[in-house]
Amino acid sequence: MVKLSDLIKQEKEASPKEEKSTPMPPPKEHQADAEPDRIYNEILQYVERVMENIKGNGRFDPNEGMRLIKKIVQSPQVLEGLYQKALQIRDLEDVFLHHSVNTAIFSMKMGIALNYDQEQLVKLGTAALLHEVGISEIPGKIMYKNSALTEEEFQILKRHPRYGYGIILQQGKEFEWLAEIVYQEHERERGQGYPRGLKGEEINEHAKIIGIVDIYEALINPRPQRKRFLPYAAVKMIIGTQKRYFSSEIIKALLSQLSVFPINCWIKLNNNMIGKVIETNENQPLRPKLEVWYDIKGNKMNEGKVINLADSPLLYISDPLYEEELPA
């Protein structure tokens, strides 16, 4: 069966001089809101340059990627903003580029759950950002195919970790650590992965994290052949079908950091009220804090009502909802 993660692919005129008026800077809170967008686009452009250069002269600078990732690692607030942005990306045109950026963001979130220090987070984020460079060597007719791959096509696709390993080694001997992580991203805990069938501690932990995030990111975003899965459904699917491929520690980190019900997602309660998640609960991920906007009859309320499910034992989430499924 073709693995879902393998199906992935990806601005005011100046005032007249005579007025000599200086525009007021945006409020600080607006500047803070804009920072994740700016950094996300900066990293996206870097990945695009990397892929173009590989197809050109084969050269790119991994250190530039590390510098970009370091900006995120040094600002937890920016990382959280990037996390929220990554959950909202729905771009089918640049799916492969967005996939790489989102995978880096989600991987760093998991690294935090595993108590990684800044140096470890930078290495993890960089490896996740560049984990798909080998895709550049796969024929477009396979990468952009809208239906299931044949066994022969899948075997060709499975070569991309080896291609990625070679591409990164070409950038310099100092990047052997990075090449090895990229080489191992599709290895699995009990030897079920590829290309070398590594097991357990033979697999770099960074590669294990990127491996499970690769699947999660692919599931929560749309593909030409299917709709996206809501995060809750994606996590449920991973636990149900992929659990034996990953260690319990990696699964636990996924659950604790890539929230089952992330902020701004819509959910329905068992009493039929509908609300939006405004705060997650790391200790009880199935019981976040909500702002309810639809009553038990499905009528839109004039004001939102805050409910903390951790303090409301009789209420629980019955279903996650797409925004387009909200009552008219």
What's this model's pTM, rounded to 2 decimal places? 0.82
User: What mean pLDDT do residues 212-227 have?
Assistant: 86
Q: What is the pLDDT of residue 174?
A: 97
Say whether pLDDT at 67 is over 60. Answer: yes
By residue count, the chain amounts to 328
Output the average pLDDT for the chain: 87
Do 182 and 231 sit in the same domain of this protein? yes
User: What mean pLDDT do residues 78-91 have?
Assistant: 85
Do 151 and 69 sit in the same domain of this protein? yes
Domain end call among 257, 281, 304:
257
Q: What is the pLDDT of residue 285?
A: 81
The CATH number of the domain holding residue 189 is 1.10.3210.10
Domain end call among 257, 283, 306:
257
Do 233 and 272 sit in the same domain of this protein? no
Question: Does residue 15 belong to any structural domain of this protein?
Answer: no
Question: Does residue 84 belong to any structural domain of this protein?
Answer: yes
Domain end call among 213, 236, 257:
257
Do 163 and 246 sit in the same domain of this protein? yes
Proportion of the chain above pLDDT 70, given as a percent: 88
More confident residue, 176 or 259: 176
Domain range holding 310? Answer: 266-325
